[in-house]
Amino acid sequence: MVSVIRFVFDAHVDHQAHSFEGSDIPANCHTTIPDTLPATLASHQREAEPRAPTPSSLGLASVSVVDTPPDYTGSTNAWVEYGSVQLWEYAQDYGPRVVWPPTEPEGDWFDPEEVIPAIRQSISVLTERALIEPIFQEMCHFYLTFLNRVIYNYALTPERVVGWMLQRFKLSDSGKLGMLCTAVLFRSNYERSRLTSSLHEYAKELYSLAVQQLPLDLSSPNLSIIAKLTALTEIMNYEFYAGKLSSYYAHGAQAVPLVRAVIGSNNIDLLNLWGEQTFDVRCFAWCDIFDSLATSRPTHFTYESNLECPGQVDIATEDMGVEAIFGCPNVIAVLLARTTALRHARTSTEDRTLQGMELERLIQDWQFGLARARRSCMRVARAAVQEIWRHAAILYVHHAIFKSHPSNPTVRSSVKNIIKLSSVVKPGGNPDCFLQPTYFIAGTFAILQKDRHTLRSRILGSGNECYLRDLATALDEIWEETDMTGRSSSWSKKPQSFVF
């Protein structure tokens, strides 16, 4: 560990100054930072309190905060004028769109499941027992602030989540660095601070250390297969949110033999995977299924499950498959994987069409379980999410199997339904931040400009990550080609240009 990260301890640091303001982490928690951290980050931790966006808090002192470029006239130096306009354009294209935590006084918006107090209490207990090493305080801030942006059903085990993540944190050096760079990346994406750029650079430094350490950890005889898979999961997590597509896909392929060694098979049964011990396998399954959608390539594994008898597990087990983590109903994930398998199967066009019709029927007729949540507004939103995924899966069948035109009645209906259902899901938070694949798939079939605008806005309005802008750019290119040729374009022509 010492060869990878060296921690610096400042005996004179004021505990209050270095506790995370606004997150209620106990004041007696020391904040200790690797020595690769820019000196500005320590002071930045005193600025963690969310504040309304202003030009100075964005680090763009000369940027106009209105929606039109400022009018620079008079004797202003031409170079300053040009630079100011460039900064304005940059802010419009790349500036944060989602403020998180939200500044409005709506408690159910930030923590609709009311579990943050339980998470905070678990941090206090672990701190009192001296189980948390100082650098893990960055992760504590991350879980208190962003857990519901990275875990769909973040309320399953709030009293255990930090302790469990602490165990993962200790498994390997590369995994630890992967977790840290993701946490810092989120702060750089969402904290409206003058030091956003420094945080972003530090996240990249941590990531660079992680990928340097990864080969050593993967070849180490002292690390378990699970520890190695966890390291890849955490590094891929950063690559996903940072939009590092080539590395993300390469590490996904690198994880295949590890997953195969864990499950002992080439089939992943999502309806029989649950619990913390299967978390990394389920994360990989999600990546495998949706990477195949994005790149139009076969999955690395098969995804066969008995849909007639959904699992030997109690149907009420909420921590099953990928739904608890990513929000996509498990049966829909299985049927998406089957659709991809059919797309690449060597069979006749007639047989492919018949099987596609059966897949569409299964998707249309499946009865989802009751959406669970503490608040009624969240139950309604999660029920809408289930139906949004249903219509996205129908559209994928029409994309991959039927090659349908956007004017197809079923396609038009599903696009309209996704737009209508999304209106009950508040933009920018949970569960909206897990719906980008559905908005994208619907967008590729959208014909009307207002529908395109709505779906593109939902993608960009769901978060501040780079990969969201990649999705929006891909949609723009698809629409441009469709409008120029008069024929429906396809994202299949754009492999590895975006990620779901």
Query: Residue 317: its pLDDT value, please?
Result: 64
Query: What number is the average pLDDT over the span 315-339?
Result: 90
Mean per-residue pLDDT of the chain:
82
Q: Which residue among 207, 242, 277 closes a domain? A: 242
> Which are the contacts of 224, defined by CB distance < 8 A and separation ≥ 6?
171
Whether residue 324 has pLDDT greater than 70: yes
Residue 228 lies in a domain: yes
Cα of 239 vs its chain's centroid, Å = 10
Residue 368 and residue 342 share a domain: yes
Amino acid, res. 346:
R
Q: How confident is the model at residue 31 (pLDDT cuts 50, 70, 90)?
A: very low
Residue 145 and residue 117 share a domain: yes
Query: What number is the average pLDDT over the span 424-428?
Result: 94
Query: Residue 364: its pLDDT value, please?
Result: 97
Query: Residue 216: its pLDDT value, please?
Result: 98
Residue 229 and residue 110 share a domain: yes
Report the run of H or E that residue 7 belongs to, with start and end.
Answer: strand 7-8
Residue 488 lies in a domain: yes
Residue 484 and residue 464 share a domain: yes
Q: Which residue has the higher pLDDT, 458 or 132?
A: 458
The closest of 187, 142, 181, 186 to 165, measured between CA atoms, is: 142
Residue 258 and residue 223 share a domain: no
Residue 91 lies in a domain: no
Residue 303 and residue 160 share a domain: no
What total of structural domains would you count in the chain? 2
Q: Which residue among 192, 222, 242 closes a domain? A: 242
Query: Residue 169: its pLDDT value, please?
Result: 97
Instruction: Report the alpha-carbon angle 457-459-461, nearest 5.
Output: 65
Structural domain boundaries, residue 431:
252-493
Residue 344 and residue 383 share a domain: yes
Whether residue 313 has pLDDT greater than 60: no
φ, ψ for residue 274, nearest 5 deg: -155, 165
Pairing of strands 7-8, 33-34: antiparallel
Residue 261 and residue 194 share a domain: no
Residue 198 lies in a domain: yes
Q: How confident is the model at residue 229 (pLDDT cuts 50, 70, 90)?
A: very high
Query: Residue 45: its pLDDT value, please?
Result: 43
Residue 185 and residue 307 share a domain: no
Query: What number is the average pLDDT over the span 293-308?
Result: 93
Residue 299 and residue 205 share a domain: no
Residue 420 and residue 451 share a domain: yes
φ, ψ for residue 30, nearest 5 deg: -70, 145
Q: What confidence tens digit (pLDDT) does each residue in 80-90 have?
A: 444 444 443 44
Share of the chain above pLDDT 70, in %: 77
Amino acid, res. 384:
A
Q: Which residue has the higher pLDDT, 165 or 49?
A: 165
Q: What confidence tens digit (pLDDT) does each residue in 358-394 have?
A: 999 999 999 998 888 888 899 999 999 999 999 999 9
Q: What confidence tens digit (pLDDT) does each residue in 88-117 have?
A: 344 444 555 788 888 775 556 789 899 999
Query: Residue 108: its pLDDT value, please?
Result: 66
Residue 74 lies in a domain: no
